[in-house]
Structure 1
Amino acid sequence: MRRAIIAASLGIVAVLAPTSVGAQDLPGYSAPFGDTLPTRIFPLFAMMRQSPDWAVALRRDRDLQKLAAERAARVGASGCAPSPKCLADAWTWTDADIATVEARLRVLARNAALSRALVADQMRASGRFGRHAALRDTDLLAAAWRNAAAAINRVIAVYAQGVAPRYPAIDATIFDVAAPEFAALLDVHGVATAALGGSDDLFFDPSLRYATGLLQLNERTNAGEYRPLLDGPNAAAAQAVARTDWEKTPYSALLVFGHGAEDAQSRTGPLTHVRLRIAADRFARGVAPFVIVSGGNVHPNRTPFNEAAEMKRLLVTQHGVPADRILIEPHARHTTTNLRNVARLMLAAGLPADREALIVSDHRTIQYITGPQLAQRNLDEMGVQPGRIAPGPDRFTARFTPSPLAFHVEAMDPLDP
């Protein structure tokens, strides 16, 4: 009863809804493309396709035409050796390829109208390239292209050639790349990808299809699931956000990060239950009007259970938190991206940017979250600090203020960019 009374007393007033209903965009920006696996990982390519006059300019550029033809000629050699490495090598971007594209993009961006359409109206406005925001337009475009090309190469290296990712226990290829069967699969994938090209292809499309296909073959499409994020399981809570009187509670939301299970039978790890108990208590006390739960399909490797979805289920069924007061962030794979992804969700959903949220966890994890090690990991793995962290009012909490820099996309982490 206490929880029901508290939840009902949180109060609502009419405010403007988020700018991009259903999408996960920086307020003030509305993406002109769908929220899909390739656009989530490689937004630069989607922006090049959609920005006025860019697709035409890229198709007409003779240097890019020549490069595309040269790259197409490299693929299709089924009898190459050593296989399968050589099959994948044919799709990677060489240093010379990357330099050629960068030079042509710099030339095209000298056109003021083209630069404004892509760099100012899309890249800067979206926040997806926030780490490079201090660069001038041509340099920002060049840096974004180099990042995207390196990320394509990284997907190929990990999921076609068996190179270990940063977290091999949960992110590695699912195949034995030394097995003859895998060489045959990679050959089939390459031939099919080359055949799927169309007259409207831009210079990057074949490699984008190849990399996306590798993620699909490896069943590593996590970044494209639960999209668009403010629809589906978040729709009711997103609507409630738009009606909330934020003056009635000291914090905007309670943030709870998952703790993955270590066995295939468990839906969530044991520490999750501790964290949820603490969060449910704080919610019942009226500390914040919403709970945001964060965590993807992480532990054990290739688990079918999503941490955020399971946490929401437990909050509703075991702790009596109303479903429309819970937002799920179902993609984060580490504490770093827990922070970044909830910051994105808070800002995109319309939670007040100048109001602190409260991270709720066990006391050991709170010590880690507020310490220097995580802050350094944020920079090393994501390139940005996604918000400001400060000690909370007790040892189970930390205060968090989201930053727009959280919208920067780290394409080198294709499972959670």
Structure 2
Amino acid sequence: MTKYILIIALLLNYTGSFAQENPEVYHTLSKKNFYFLHAIENNREVKEVLNKDRSLSKLLSEQKKQIAQTLEKKENDLHSLIYPYLISEEDSKKISDHLNRIYKESPKFKNFIENDIRNSGAYILYDKLKAKELIENIWSLNAEGINHILKVYGMGEHPQYAAIDSVSYNVKSDYYKGAIAMWSDHMALEVKEKDLWFNPSLNFALSLLYLNHRDEAARYEPLEELENRKTVEHIKNIDFAHFKYASILILGNGPENYTDRLSALGKLNIKLGVKAYLEVKAPLIVVSGGHAHPFRAKYCEAIEMKKELMKEYQIPENRIIIEPHARHTTTNLRNASRLYSKYDVPLDKAHLVVTNNSHSQYVSSNNFKNRCIEELGYLPALIMSRINDTTIEFQPLKNSLQQNPTEPLDP
């Protein structure tokens, strides 16, 4: 026995005790886009219950055969290569039925749904639904998210905002088709007997984000341990009752070239936000904006805004929260609201959103509210009084916790 322990120890020392099969970014992308599936993967007891279900295992076996048959063909277009990973409406309905049956049969799975999933906040819009409808909505959303990634970053379909969110390669090129074929072949070999029904599709979707360099949603995470660590610690000492507002949210205005770190209006937004901060209206500044503009932007707007605040205005680092993922005004407010909830910044207190005149006018308009309803399905914040041409009061809403995997670069 001692001999075998020594061999294992030597192997771990040689390969690295924490070496893993997939890139670390898969873990973060999975958690942020597909919390339900991620939670299953990381709950040993629940995973075992689902793994033993013959109906779900049969679906996995059928998919493995379909993938293998596709790869055996000498000539494949992108559609035929991606197709076996897509989750059909028929299979999606079967899976919902199986999960609801397992919910009734397994106390472990029922407890997982009623506690881990309901309490996560990731599906807060479905929170008041009964178990059957809850499971159906959650699974349907996860399946839709997987299919969206497969179609956009595999087949090259246009996303809603094609100018900034599209596939990174020419999908008509032989290079890309060959790359997808080789990735599919590699991923098929990695499918294990004890994998769950969603593993091939989920893992291939995550691989498509990875190989397309569209891992924006995973960058800078975990924020509370990295860029926002000092501020999270400082928040514990803030008496928010001493301030009229809980925070000042400065919206980004991304440059449209690959050389400028901040745009002219982006710099104006910062100056306007600093003015409100120096008037002691709030104890915190939040800067919001990701790698959105231009396409596959090199610089993260929130990171650059933070640098500007510290270098040019001498704002202490522990007074700044960065939100480095938002790609639109809707998600500026949504993502900030998520961080308030996570960092224990009061949600029942008013906050300020500061931006240039025209942008501020848009945020206070019905057009913005309608866009939030259309794109997010809810209002991420309650827009309140307009203080001046560049400053608006708002109150963050908990609906913002809802995940949206159909926008995988910022779900």
Same fold, judged at TM 0.5 (above): yes
- Aligned-partner Cα distance in 1 for 2:398–2:406: 20
The one-letter amino acid of 1:192's match is H
Moved more, 316-325 or 212-221: 316-325
2:364–2:386 Cα contact (<8 Å) kept: no
Paired position in structure 1 for 2:38: 46
Question: Mapping of 1:140-155 within 5 angstroms?
Answer: 140-155=134-149
Choose which of 365, 381, 392 in structure 2 pairs with 1:387.
381
Question: Alpha carbons of 1:144 and 1:91: their partners in 2 closer, same or farther (altered >3 Å)?
Answer: same
Q: Does 1:135 align with 2:135?
A: no
1:47–1:118 Cα contact (<8 Å) kept: no
- Aligned-partner Cα distance in 1 for 2:344–2:246: 10
Paired position in structure 2 for 1:56: 48
1:51–1:122 Cα contact (<8 Å) kept: no
Unaligned runs of 5+ in 2: 1-25
**Residue aligned with 2:227, SS:** helix
- Aligned-partner Cα distance in 2 for 1:230–1:268: 24
Paired position in structure 1 for 2:314: 320
Q: Does 1:109 align with 2:108?
A: no
1:386 Cα deviation from its structure 2 partner: 1.4
- Aligned-partner Cα distance in 2 for 1:279–1:112: 53
Q: Does 1:301 align with 2:295?
A: yes
Choose which of 137, 160, 164 in structure 2 pairs with 1:166.
160
Number of residue pairs aligned between Structure 1 and Structure 2? 384
1:258–1:294 Cα contact (<8 Å) kept: yes
**CA RMSD across the alignment:** 1.5
- Aligned-partner Cα distance in 1 for 2:289–2:331: 9
**Residue aligned with 2:178, SS:** helix
**Residue aligned with 2:176, SS:** helix
1:81 Cα deviation from its structure 2 partner: 5.6
1:64–1:101 Cα contact (<8 Å) kept: yes
Q: Does 1:224 align with 2:215?
A: no
- Aligned-partner Cα distance in 2 for 1:286–1:44: 41
1:80 Cα deviation from its structure 2 partner: 6.2
Question: Alpha carbons of 1:52 and 1:201: their partners in 2 closer, same or farther (altered >3 Å)?
Answer: closer
- Aligned-partner Cα distance in 2 for 1:200–1:387: 43
2:231–2:321 Cα contact (<8 Å) kept: yes
Q: Does 1:70 align with 2:56?
A: no
**Residue aligned with 2:224, SS:** coil
Paired position in structure 2 for 1:282: 276
- Aligned-partner Cα distance in 2 for 1:130–1:210: 27
**Residue aligned with 1:359, SS:** strand
Unaligned runs of 5+ in 1: 1-33
Higher relative contact order (CA 8 A, sep 6+): 1
- Aligned-partner Cα distance in 2 for 1:201–1:41: 19
Paired position in structure 1 for 2:13: none
- Aligned-partner Cα distance in 2 for 1:383–1:364: 25
Paired position in structure 2 for 1:99: 93
With normalisation by structure 2, the TM-score equals: 0.90
- Aligned-partner Cα distance in 1 for 2:396–2:321: 16
**Residue aligned with 2:132, SS:** helix
The one-letter amino acid of 1:162's match is G
The one-letter amino acid of 1:396's match is T
1:216-255 Cα shifts (integer Å, max 9, x gaps): 1110001111111211110001111110011222111100
With normalisation by structure 1, the TM-score equals: 0.89
Paired position in structure 2 for 1:18: none
- Aligned-partner Cα distance in 1 for 2:238–2:194: 46
Moved more, 71-80 or 309-318: 71-80
1:51–1:117 Cα contact (<8 Å) kept: no
- Aligned-partner Cα distance in 1 for 2:375–2:248: 25
Question: Mapping of 1:16-415 within 5 angstroms?
Answer: 36-51=28-43, 53-76=45-68, 77-78=70-71, 79=73, 83-111=77-105, 113-415=107-409
- Aligned-partner Cα distance in 2 for 1:125–1:197: 31
